[in-house]
Amino acid sequence: MTTPPEPPPDHEPAPAPGDEPTRARGGDSDAPPGSHPDGGPGVPVLTDPDPDPGADPDPAPAPRVRRFWAVRRIPAAVLAALVLGGAGLLLYDVAAVRADRTAMAWRRELADGLATRPLDDTWVVVGAAVAVALGLWLLILAATPGLRAVLPMRREHADVRAGLDREAAALALRDRAMEVSGVQSVRVRVGRAKVAVKAVSHFRALDEVRADVETVLAAGVDELALAHPPALTVRVARPPRKA
């Protein structure tokens, strides 16, 4: 007698509590991210790196560098003292005349001279020339920044301004030039638009010394971080012969 085969169960038996499933729904749990569920290579996912929170995506343009303006305390103090003294003296004389007193001798002579002297008189012309020169001098002081001895430097930050004294810049460049082999002495003059260097070389060829000095000082001028780098002029000569 033959026993008929048993029908397959409707569902798979549940795994034991200690056993772990080898495949999760939708793919293998051990597969790397981005791989295909069937085991083939998947489409890689490209993600942008997180931007640095401290970096500025759109850096602001460098602020315009202007020259330093002089305070000009001495000219302002001299002019204020002259105006105050003249106004006070004139006011005192006018008050004395109003009080039935005679005017001062200088004011009477000045009034008589202005009334009697012709316009082409020497003293009138000299006085007018002095007044014009004084006015032009004041206008120039008001329209120009001054402080020619301070060279403006590049502005890395909008709220910070820095300047370099011309003598300090000349000293720094002189020390750099003295490091060149063959240089005995150096004179450096730093202006707002040009740096004039005169070196004395007691050995080596002058062309080689000049080339080395130009290279060293060009790097030195760049390291000064000036807003308007001056042009460089280098002259190299032999020391004078002793008699």
Spatial contact of 150 and 70, defined as CB atoms under 8 Å apart: no
- What three-state secondary structure class fits 135? helix
What is the structure's pLDDT at 71? 79
pLDDT, average across residues 16-40: 48
Name the band, by pLDDT with cuts 50, 70 and 90, for residue 24.
very low
pLDDT, average across residues 68-80: 83
What is the structure's pLDDT at 54? 52
Single pTM value for the model: 0.55
Look over the chain and give the mean of its residue pLDDT values, rounded to a whole number: 78
What is the structure's pLDDT at 105? 87
Is pLDDT of 52 > 60? no
What is the structure's pLDDT at 4? 52
Is pLDDT of 82 > 60? yes
For 57-72, what is each residue's pLDDT tens digit? 555 555 667 777 777 7
DSSP state of 144: S
What is the structure's pLDDT at 40? 52
Name the band, by pLDDT with cuts 50, 70 and 90, for residue 178.
very high
Name the band, by pLDDT with cuts 50, 70 and 90, for residue 46.
very low
For 116-162, what is each residue's pLDDT tens digit? 888 888 888 998 999 999 889 888 888 888 788 888 888 877 777 88
pLDDT, average across residues 22-50: 48
Output the DSSP codes for 56-97.
-SSPPPPPPP-PPPP--HHHHHHHHHHHHHHHHHHHHHHHHH
- What three-state secondary structure class fits 159? coil
Rounded Cα–Cα distance for residues 96 and 109 (Å): 17
What is the structure's pLDDT at 21? 46
H or E element at residue 171: helix 166-178
Name the band, by pLDDT with cuts 50, 70 and 90, for residue 22.
very low
Of 31-40, 97-106, 138-147, 181-190, give the range with the top mean pLDDT. 181-190
What is the structure's pLDDT at 9? 52
Rounded Cα–Cα distance for residues 160 and 199 (Å): 36
